Structure 1
């Protein structure tokens, strides 16, 4: 048998801390590991404040990580100098959450896309105009839209422009940072379908950040569940959704909307608010809200256990959820 293909992106032990003006340390991301296979979409999911966006931006070094590795196509991105990292920017792109604030309101759409093409040293003149028209068509917009300003578009259309900008340099890997959370539900489906089509069409590898597990189930091959900067559970989407082995994953699934009213879900109480990353709980960071927490949960950080089939969980009581 041939050895399995190495993932396009392999993140190990990613850590990011911030130090505030008062000297307090914020533990935003702690020892996070996951991988993204070529041509697949991985969902990074959790509540607001769980560290998802920080993790995604740290991988791209839009935020400088505090520790760990991010091996992209055999090269550790965290070991590169700023000049060396610049050469990788064409291969790594991001789609931002807010489609309005991520676009310069004073620039027309052709100028916004042209700015992205500058990074790829793309030819000017007729060739560039044709490329801009092509990018707009790819995301379902008209070439005539190139001369408009961002405020002349709906939220869904603006997000399509953000997607076109990310595709301009023909990347291999994209971080999609909650790209549909600011959109109406009806528009969300359209943008999700577009992302799914583009992923297949261009064999993209995508890290899809979201707080809604139902969205991740629809789009993603694998899922990584984060809470307060740590990974609680990860694995193929079908395995995690069919048999979640962490109480937090079960709580998120219980609150996710289900379109079929005949399907009943076991409710798992999720009490209180997510703690502050300045002073995270000892042991398992989820224990203060976990209905299954026992005294041992406070004693040590639970090890990540391999359940087989690339399904991993960090919970000392996971066997009781089998």
Structure 2
């Protein structure tokens, strides 16, 4: 486990330290899907880390493997010093209250046959929260916390908009008072105007409740707004990671540069300085040799096919996996 240094000079052990996380899935033809390969990063207590990449990059699988919603194939996930991957199913249940997830699709993650009070009440059951008036009051508190009316507790999911349903999902996740929340593309299914509202809500809740978050997204512009640090993934591997100000201000990996080139620019007079990404992501069943990004990389050289570049520190907490970053 690494130790970071705060601005005040204090050493700080991360709340979550992911080390060499690997996840393989068997394919129907007997081959192996390399979903996540040797992924490592830390999440400081009270911070938000963005996990970014295109569809098929492995970011959602990584988030779910950390929570043991899918079983990892290798590596460690040290949460407050305890390796979650080494826990039995029974011991892991004791950690569920401290670790929660907000899913991408706010409609499919809510039972359409249950009223909102019952949906949030299920989470309160996990805490052993007593039924009755106090529970009704707690449900009302949670709905108010996420910007909804307590009166909404008696309604069904289909009576709400997408943004409202996502707020309900957030309320359910917060019902057990977790320390760590994985937000798995929580705004990707929402309209742009609603995305901003939900992002603002998550930012406010993170500060107000002191939450530690892993925010998964495919849009770098969304992550820039919310996250203290960024981990850029491609085809199951980490390409670049570091403080947001360095990854956005001084991107070093060609993939990060390409993602930035496709992000919206609010200033029409501002010119893009990076080349947009072309082509499709290769199959994780048969990933390219060497650097997995080389088949789409505008800066690739022959040597990129022969070596898997390690994720190396380049200063200030900034890391990059590219054999050309020294040039």
Same fold (TM over 0.5): yes
The separation in 2 between residues aligned to 1:185 and 1:3, in whole angstroms, is 39
The separation in 1 between residues aligned to 2:120 and 2:140, in whole angstroms, is 10
Q: Is the 8 A contact 1:31 1:68 kept in 2?
A: yes
User: 1:127 maps to what in 2?
Assistant: 134
Q: Please tell me whether residue 35 in structure 1 is matched to residue 42 in structure 2.
A: yes
User: 1:168 maps to what in 2?
Assistant: 175
2:95 to 74, 88, 94: 88
Give secondary structure in 2 for the equivalent of 1:317: coil
Q: Is the 8 A contact 2:53 2:233 kept in 1?
A: yes
Q: Is the 8 A contact 2:103 2:109 kept in 1?
A: yes
The separation in 1 between residues aligned to 2:201 and 2:91, in whole angstroms, is 32
User: 1:201 maps to what in 2?
Assistant: 208
Q: What do residues 264-308 of structure 1 show as CA deviations (whole Å, max 9, x unaligned)?
A: 111314221000000000000000000010110000101111111
The separation in 1 between residues aligned to 2:269 and 2:189, in whole angstroms, is 29
Q: Please tell me whether residue 12 in structure 1 is matched to residue 44 in structure 2.
A: no
Q: What do residues 134-159 of structure 1 show as CA deviations (whole Å, max 9, x unaligned)?
A: 00000000010000000000000000
User: 1:25 maps to what in 2?
Assistant: 32
Please state how far the C-alpha of 1:6 moved relative to its aligned partner. 0.3
Q: Is the 8 A contact 2:259 2:276 kept in 1?
A: no
- Bigger mean CA deviation after superposition, 1-10 or 90-99: 1-10
Give secondary structure in 2 for the equivalent of 1:307: strand
User: 2:4 maps to what in 1?
Assistant: none
Question: 5+ unaligned residues in a row in structure 2: which ranges?
Answer: 1-7
The separation in 1 between residues aligned to 2:151 and 2:194, in whole angstroms, is 21
Please state how far the C-alpha of 1:319 moved relative to its aligned partner. 3.2
1:285 to 285, 292, 317: 292
Q: What do residues 229-285 of structure 1 show as CA deviations (whole Å, max 9, x unaligned)?
A: 000000000011110000000000000001111221113142210000000000000
Question: 5+ unaligned residues in a row in structure 1: which ranges?
Answer: none
Give secondary structure in 2 for the equivalent of 1:28: strand
Q: What do residues 31-55 of structure 1 show as CA deviations (whole Å, max 9, x unaligned)?
A: 0001100000000000000000000
1:112 to 114, 119, 127: 119
Q: What do residues 66-90 of structure 1 show as CA deviations (whole Å, max 9, x unaligned)?
A: 0000000010000000000000000
Q: Is the 8 A contact 1:304 1:313 kept in 2?
A: yes
Q: Is the 8 A contact 1:271 1:290 kept in 2?
A: no
Please state how far the C-alpha of 1:133 moved relative to its aligned partner. 0.2
User: 1:220 maps to what in 2?
Assistant: 227
Give secondary structure in 1 for the equivalent of 2:12: coil
Q: Is the 8 A contact 1:117 1:168 kept in 2?
A: yes
User: 1:142 maps to what in 2?
Assistant: 149
User: 1:302 maps to what in 2?
Assistant: 309
What is the total number of aligned residue pairs between the two structures? Answer: 320
Give secondary structure in 2 for the equivalent of 1:319: coil
The separation in 2 between residues aligned to 1:299 and 1:24, in whole angstroms, is 22
1:44 to 48, 51, 67: 51
The separation in 1 between residues aligned to 2:262 and 2:247, in whole angstroms, is 16
Compute the RMSD of aligned alpha carbons.
Answer: 1.0
Q: Is the 8 A contact 2:262 2:277 kept in 1?
A: no
Q: Is the 8 A contact 2:262 2:276 kept in 1?
A: no
1:272 to 279, 289, 295: 279
Q: Is the 8 A contact 1:245 1:319 kept in 2?
A: no
Q: Is the 8 A contact 2:117 2:153 kept in 1?
A: yes
